[in-house]
C-alpha cells in the first residue's frame, strides 16, 4: 500500500485530496495545525485504519515514522481574507514549510508535489495564462505575501529537484470551489452564496467586470492526482477555462438560490487581477485531463452543501 503525507489536509482542497487517496487505497497521513483548516473536514476519516492525523505546524521540524511514497504540500492560507490577516504565517508556510517538506521528501526518497497557484501570474499581461508566462506581481503590495510565497515555493521545489534530485511536481491551481469551503472563506463564491442564501446584499468589487475561471473541486483533485502520477516536473495549470465576470457570477448565484438579494458595489481591493483564465493545453496533452463539471452543476452542489451547514 502506497503511503502519502498531505500537509494542510484539513483544509478545503487538502481534505478532498485525503478522500481521493483513501478511496484509491492509499495510506493517508494528514498534517494540519487548523490555522485555516477544520477538524470537521476530516472527521469522517478518523475511524479509517488507513488514515492518520498529525497536529503540527509544517514550518517546524517534521517527523513522520516509516516510509513515505508521496508528499503533497497544501498547507497555506489561500483566501485573501486569510493571507491579509496572516501575512507572516503565509510567507513562512510558503518558505520554511516548503523547505521542511522538501527536506522530508529528500530523506524519505518520496515524490513531492507543491500546491502553487494562478496568483504567481499576478495581474497578468497575457491572456489566457500559459505556464511559460513569468507573471506581473507586485512584491510589496498586500497580496505579495501570498504571490511571492508561492513563487518562492516553486523556486525552492525546482532547486531541490536540480540539486538534490528530489522527484518533484508543481501544480498551479486556478480558482476552485465546491463543498467544504469555509462559510466565511472570503472568496467570491462563498461570499455570494452566503449573502444570497440569507437574502443579504451581494457585494461585488469594482465594476464587477473583472473575470475569473472557476473550477469544481472534483475536477481539480482529479487533475492533481494525474499530475502526481505523471512524469512531468515543470508547472502545470489545472483549472476550468470557462471564464465569467464577477458580476455575472453574482447574478447566476442569486438566480440559483432563488434569492431576493440585490447587488451592491464596493471598492476594488489593491492589485486585484483584472482577468484570470488558464491555458490548460499542457494538462490536456500531458495528463489527458480537462474540466468536466459545468459551472451550474458545480454551483448547485456547493449551494446544497452551504444550505446543509447553515441549517437552511
What is the mean pLDDT for each group of 10 consecutive residues in the chain (312 residues)?
98 98 98 97 97 98 98 96 95 98 98 98 96 97 96 98 98 98 93 97 95 97 98 98 97 98 92 92 98 98 97 90
Residues 6+ apart with CB under 8 A from 263: 201, 202, 203, 204, 208, 247, 250, 251, 254
Residues 6+ apart with CB under 8 A from 145: 83, 84, 87, 88, 90, 91
What does the alpha-carbon distance between residue 286 and residue 121 come to, in Å, rounded to a whole number? Answer: 21
User: Model pTM greater than 0.75?
Assistant: yes
- pLDDT score of 246: 96
Residues 6+ apart with CB under 8 A from 126: 133
Q: What is the DSSP letter of 122?
A: B
- pLDDT score of 269: 84
- pLDDT score of 271: 80
Which superfamily, per CATH, for 3-176+215-238? NAD(P)-binding Rossmann-like Domain (3.40.50.720)
The one catalytic residue in 26, 146, 177, 216 is 146
Which helix (H) or strand (E) covers residue 177, if one does? strand 176-177
- Residue span(s) of the chain under CATH 3.40.50.720 come to 3-176+215-238
Q: Cell 499581461: give the residue.
A: 125
- pLDDT score of 300: 98
What does the alpha-carbon distance between residue 144 and residue 299 come to, in Å, rounded to a whole number? Answer: 29
In the residue annotation, 146 being an active-site residue is answered as: yes
- pLDDT score of 12: 98
10 Å Cβ neighbour count for 231?
7
- pLDDT score of 123: 94
10 Å Cβ neighbour count for 117?
21
- Residue span(s) of the chain under CATH 3.90.25.10 come to 177-212+242-278+293-310
> What is the CATH class of 177-212+242-278+293-310?
alpha beta
Amino acid at each position: 500500500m502506497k503511503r502519502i503525507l498531505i500537509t494542510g489536509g484539513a483544509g478545503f482542497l487538502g481534505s478532498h485530496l485525503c478522500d481521493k487517496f483513501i478511496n484509491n487505497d492509499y495510506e493517508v497521513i494528514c498534517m494540519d495545525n487548523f490555522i485555516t483548516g477544520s477538524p470537521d473536514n476530516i472527521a469522517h476519516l478518523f475511524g479509517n485504519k488507513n488514515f492518520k492525523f498529525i497536529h503540527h505546524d509544517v514550518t517546524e521540524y517534521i517527523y513522520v515514522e516509516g516510509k513515505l511514497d508521496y508528499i503533497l504540500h497544501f498547507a497555506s492560507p489561500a483566501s485573501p481574507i486569510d493571507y491579509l490577516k496572516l501575512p507572516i504565517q503565509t510567507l513562512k508556510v510558503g518558505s520554511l514549510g516548503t523547505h521542511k517538506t522538501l527536506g522530508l521528501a529528500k530523506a524519505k526518497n518520496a515524490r513531492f508535489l507543491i500546491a502553487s497557484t494562478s496568483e504567481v501570474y499576478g495581474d497578468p499581461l497575457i491572456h489566457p495564462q500559459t505556464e511559460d508566462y513569468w507573471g506581473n506581481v507586485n512584491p510589496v503590495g498586500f497580496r505579495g505575501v501570498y504571490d511571492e510565497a508561492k513563487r518562492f515555493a516553486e523556486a525552492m521545489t525546482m532547486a531541490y529537484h536540480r540539486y538534490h534530485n528530489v522527484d518533484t511536481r508543481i501544480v498551479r491551481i486556478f480558482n476552485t470551489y465546491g463543498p467544504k469551503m469555509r462559510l466565511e472563506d472570503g472568496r467570491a463564491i462563498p461570499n455570494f452564496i452566503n449573502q444570497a442564501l440569507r437574502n443579504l446584499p451581494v457585494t461585488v468589487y469594482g465594476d464587477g467586470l473583472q473575470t475569473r475561471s472557476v473550477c469544481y473541486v472534483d475536477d481539480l483533485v482529479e487533475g492533481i492526482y494525474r499530475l502526481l502520477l505523471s512524469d512531468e516536473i515543470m508547472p502545470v495549470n489545472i483549472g476550468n477555462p470557462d471564464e465569467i465576470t464577477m458580476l455575472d457570477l453574482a447574478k447566476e448565484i442569486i438566480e440559483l438560490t432563488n434569492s431576493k438579494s440585490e447587488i451592491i458595489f464596493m471598492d476594488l481591493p489593491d492589485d486585484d487581477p483584472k482577468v484570470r483564465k488558464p491555458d490548460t493545453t499542457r494538462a490536456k496533452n500531458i495528463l489527458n485531463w480537462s474540466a468536466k463539471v459545468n459551472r451550474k452543476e458545480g454551483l448547485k452542489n456547493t449551494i446544497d452543501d452551504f444550505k446543509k451547514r447553515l441549517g437552511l
